[in-house]
Amino acid sequence: MIRPATPDDIPAIIHMIRELATYEKALDKVETTEEQLHEALFGPSPAVFCHIATDDDNGVAGFALWFVTYSTWLGRHGIHLEDLFVHPGHRGAGHGKQLLIELARICVERGYGRFEWSVLDWNTPSIEFYRSLGAEPLDEWDMYRLTGSALEKLAATESPR
């Protein structure tokens, strides 16, 4: 079953974020606290959303955390999937596919034009899974990111007049 996350799911989501980061060899990069995630998902102006996959016993099997984007070319919103994770013991049972189906349905129901995400280039099992669903890589695009001191330095730069 796929359902929207509730505040009671926060500890399980944090645990899965850490499991995902461990798999991606980046656990030391995770700074998110339960309080931050609760505020992002359930605060007065949530801009991030989460769906939970449950197993037959209603235990949490996986999650998809996403946010709304906008395409100036399409003139419509879309969904960016930030994280998708299914516990290793639950893989192969269709939970990941069901989470993606639910987000695709949200896109179609709301008239959104895109459903996008990133995947590490070495994550062959995920790449094969996404391609099996019809997803295509955007080979002509490179992602850039500003964080930490580089972000602060740019923000502190005085604008030319």
Active site residues per annotation: 130
- The DSSP output letter for 160 is P
Please, what is the angle between helix 34-42 and helix 10-23, to 10°? 110
What is the token pair recorded at 94? 């269709």
Please state the separation of Cα 80 from the chain's center in Å.
Answer: 7
Cβ(78)–Cβ(115) under 8 Å? yes
Euclidean distance between CA atoms 134 and 139, whole angstroms: 15
Q: Which spans in 24-159 are helix H? A: 34-42, 95-110, 124-132, 148-156
98 strand-pairing partners: none
Cβ(39)–Cβ(78) under 8 Å? no
